[in-house]
């Protein structure tokens, strides 16, 4: 990341105008401070716009990559700039749901534009008495079903994304479907 001087960028606060009156007409003082103005103008401009640097929608592209490291997000260099900005903007929300079905479905939609459903086990139960058995049997594999949404399904990219965010103790298999799976009817 670099913040370089911008040729011809005027200083909003020229130093020559802030000198005491006795130096206002001094040619050497005015030329010297004008040289300092050209060096300081990019710094002053950056400080004047610092809030924009921390907004993923407005930050310069090179700063956005650095900003992504602040919120622990890995950006794929092949992603378009709009997607990179959206992922950094939603980083906190994505981290909040990391390791859950909802988090995986949201990430697949945001990053790859595909619909998804996660089939991951028997569910939960509750009881008013301690010591009741847990429902179902332990699950070590989850099935991630995906089908086209904004984009066609690229199975390799889906598998790579699923592997990067799945819980360590859980294996995941990816099923690419041509369309949405039929709705399951629960007990009435």
Q: Provide the sign of the torsion angle of the four alpha carbons 123, 129, 130, 133, taken in this order.
A: negative
* Residue of higher predicted confidence among 121 and 187: 121
Q: Can you give the pLDDT at residue 1?
A: 43
Express each pLDDT in 133-188 by its tens digit.
Answer: 877 777 788 999 999 998 899 999 999 999 988 888 889 999 999 988 877 655 54
Confidence category of residue 8, pLDDT binned at 50, 70, 90: confident
Continuous segment of H or E residues that includes residue 174: strand 171-176
Return left, alpha or beta for 99; rule: phi > 0 is left, psi -120 to 50 is alpha, else beta: left
In whole angstroms, how far apart are CA 15 and each of 12, 28, 103? 9, 13, 52
> Above 80 in pLDDT, residue 124?
no
Q: Looking at residues 119-142, what average pLDDT do you find?
A: 79
> Above 50 in pLDDT, residue 33?
yes
Q: Are 73 and 85 in contact (CB under 8 A)?
A: no
Strand order in 141-148's β-sheet? Answer: 114-119, 141-148, 171-176
Express each pLDDT in 45-83 by its tens digit.
Answer: 888 889 999 999 999 888 899 999 999 998 888 889 999
Q: Can you give the pLDDT at residue 166?
A: 87
Query: Which of 65, 85, 78 has its CA nearest to residue 154?
Result: 78
> Above 70 in pLDDT, residue 100?
yes
In whole angstroms, how far apart are CA 124 and each of 116, 120, 134, 137, 144? 22, 12, 8, 11, 19
Q: Can you give the pLDDT at residue 28?
A: 94
pTM: 0.69
């Amino acid at each position: 990341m670099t913040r370089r001087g911008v040729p011809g960028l005027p200083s909003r606060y020229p130093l020559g105008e802030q000198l005491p009156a006795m130096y206002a007409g001094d040619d050497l003082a005015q030329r010297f401070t004008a040289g300092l103005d050209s060096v300081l103008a990019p710094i002053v401009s950056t400080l004047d716009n610092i809030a924009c640097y921390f907004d993923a929608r407005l930050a310069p592209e090179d700063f956005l990559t650095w900003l992504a490291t602040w919120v622990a997000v890995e950006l794929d260099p092949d992603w378009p700039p709009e997607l990179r900005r959206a992922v950094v903007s939603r980083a906190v929300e994505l981290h909040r749901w990391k390791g859950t079905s909802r988090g995986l479905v949201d990430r697949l939609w945001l990053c790859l534009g595909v619909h998804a459903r996660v089939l991951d086990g028997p569910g939960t139960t509750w009881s008013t008495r301690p010591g009741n058995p847990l429902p179902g049997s332990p699950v070590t594999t989850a099935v991630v079903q995906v089908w086209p949404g904004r984009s066609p399904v690229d199975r390799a990219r889906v598998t790579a994304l699923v592997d990067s965010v799945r819980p360590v103790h859980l294996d995941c298999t990816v099923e690419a479907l041509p369309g949405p799976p039929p709705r399951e009817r629960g007990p009435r």
